[in-house]
Structure 1
């Protein structure tokens, strides 16, 4: 293990609200070893921004890592040429042109369909009744897994991510994650004949057209299901919650002095849906005045970096007028989220503004609990509106 200072956490408290502990780490022990997580954490924004790019030292290649075990080999756990080959293969499915011309119109139709479904109800849980199916239906068309129902997409994402973050080694968590990983593989196999007969710009199709093997396609699709369902679901519900909870900020959008994109950017800074990224130390070396040993585990804490007091005044406050440029909720290095543009378009372009435009008198209707530190978002968001 590294010779970083040791800091203990209460895992339950950290899962419920990691920000007080992370703030203390940033102030006193910005690089520290946490025995309960079995990893050394980087918590300051500038350290994360700089060190994440040092793939020669902090490698994404983790053949025995939890994410690789459940998802299979994938571009997120590769560096250099091996990473770029698969990232380039993916590009046609998520390019700015594809997002603008192909995905955005379909996203609008998806969002409109779900608003039409819930509008007569007068109340719902935004997480389960709106954000979850919107994110899942968007992901179904992006991946090409139209043979997977929205609820199953969400369940698969959560189960595989839970297994990828199962540092406590709960066997039931592992069993669920591996079962859904097998299910995703089966569904990909079912879709391939039709996609080979009529290729399109879905992720499965473009990876297949690029010559990736079935295992490579499956590994990457599983990872994309993880982040591509979890992050938009949590950011849709979370951004709406933030604007309802801070009505003064919503007024700025109505007045034209701020935008929906500003609200989205500030929310994912405040509550980074993907709160950390693990790396393997590739060799004995030193960083941030800490000595690291080969093959030990480190975490780049994006959720902490996005609340770094050195870059954000009053970082625990939701303020859509602030400059979120230094925030790195989607990463900062070569593994910057490939789906960031699609996510921004879905959420800031359609899912959030259309709700406020079409559900008159939308307001919170109860408590909104949050949970998670590796992946974080609201677990429930009850709302109501006029019918």
Structure 2
């Protein structure tokens, strides 16, 4: 048994620029490693991460040092056991299969079509800012039930909360902005709670406001978690899927020739494997133990790098390539175990059935703009920062 190795030559800037070569090195040389720049022990192999996520008795989600709790309050994402199950059960009613297909899909389809109608005649756009960001924000406003704000503010709030959750460098300006945004969210939420109590519907806020088990503090924390993760996942998955297809003409031709739901499902799953929108999340060590030959101490902070797990050589050859023809293998982009992402079915519908197929179908000759390169960034949360494209009338 060895102590946790320390890797000093990794910087946050390098991780944000392109973390995947760093992850490959860690998987090979130090799959459980203390990285001082991130102030956390990074775990980078698929099997180890899956073991941790499916054994919450040894690696609980609750952590009094959690940046997420500091940024958003104590939501269900940082709870374990019965406390977690009870809160999740309240929200689950909004995203079961019947509600997604019968209630949310028509509303999301209208949003997608109206956004495309707004720029279709221009023949050029940045699909990150002109489509994916407003699409994800408008859809989240609907499913959350926070319709008394505008989509631009919700995008800004989401990014501010994500910056705070990923603030491993402890930047005081990020915390100051987080506090401002938190107050704005609380004000908007308090208004909608009263409305939803009077007129219940399938939205998240309605389900929580009309539950007899959740306090105002619990509602506020869970709403902030949903705002944080509910925009970046569908936004970034949409842009990543499009980037992958437009960068690989033979794969683009294949989905155009076979535009079936299973084919679009492959596109979605490969996109979030190729670039997991949530690249890392934390867990705490409950007691002194040995893991993969490494000695861990009680209250050690672990960062489960699912973005690395999704490129693990044991399961994927050439994991840095976008390839919808891969043999199906379960990835960890949605996590696993009791904290499997609550919105995974909604994201599959939103991206795999609506946003990406609609753009490919309605923008003839859609292609990357050769004069403006697409940009990716981030590591705790990673995705395209811009996706300039052109198409024909």
Matched, 1:383 2:385: no
Q: Provide the rounded CA distance (Å) in 2 between the counterparts of 1:134 and 1:206.
A: 23
Offset of residue 255 of structure 1:
2.7
- Map of 1:336 onto structure 2: 340
Gaps of 5+ in 2: none
8 Å CA contact 1:154, 1:229 repeated in 2: yes
Q: Provide the rounded CA distance (Å) in 2 between the counterparts of 1:157 and 1:13.
A: 24
Offset of residue 22 of structure 1:
0.3
Structure 2 SS opposite 1:58:
coil
- Map of 1:63 onto structure 2: 64
Q: Provide the rounded CA distance (Å) in 2 between the counterparts of 1:241 and 1:214.
A: 41
Q: Provide the rounded CA distance (Å) in 1 between the counterparts of 2:284 and 2:273.
A: 25
The count of corresponding residues between Structure 1 and Structure 2 is 386
Q: 1:286 aligns with which of 286, 290, 297?
A: 290
Structure 1 stretch displaced more, 170-179 or 214-223: 170-179
- Map of 1:88 onto structure 2: 89
Matched, 1:5 2:5: yes
Structure 1 SS opposite 2:115:
helix
Gaps of 5+ in 1: none
Offset of residue 323 of structure 1:
2.7
Within-5 A mapping of 1:235-384: 235-256=237-258, 259-365=263-369, 366-384=372-390
8 Å CA contact 2:16, 2:378 repeated in 1: yes
1:53-96 per-residue CA deviation (whole Å, 9 max, x = no partner) reads: 11112111023311001100100000010000000011111111
- Map of 1:214 onto structure 2: 216
Q: Provide the rounded CA distance (Å) in 2 between the counterparts of 1:121 and 1:215.
A: 46
Offset of residue 325 of structure 1:
2.5
Offset of residue 375 of structure 1:
0.3
Q: Provide the rounded CA distance (Å) in 2 between the counterparts of 1:7 and 1:310.
A: 23
Normalised to the residue count of structure 2, the TM-score between the two structures is 0.96
- Map of 1:233 onto structure 2: 235
Offset of residue 234 of structure 1:
0.7
1:200-257 per-residue CA deviation (whole Å, 9 max, x = no partner) reads: 0100110122221111111001101111101111111111111111111111212328
Structure 2 SS opposite 1:76:
helix
Offset of residue 97 of structure 1:
1.1
Q: Provide the rounded CA distance (Å) in 2 between the counterparts of 1:296 and 1:370.
A: 31
Offset of residue 3 of structure 1:
2.2
Structure 2 SS opposite 1:370:
strand
8 Å CA contact 1:40, 1:298 repeated in 2: yes
CA-atom RMSD in angstroms: 1.2
Q: 1:224 aligns with which of 208, 226, 229?
A: 226
Structure 1 stretch displaced more, 268-277 or 246-255: 246-255
Give the 3 Å change call, closer, same or farther, for CA 323–210 of structure 1 in structure 2: farther
Q: Provide the rounded CA distance (Å) in 1 between the counterparts of 2:137 and 2:179.
A: 20
8 Å CA contact 2:315, 2:329 repeated in 1: no
8 Å CA contact 1:265, 1:324 repeated in 2: no
- Map of 2:51 onto structure 1: 50
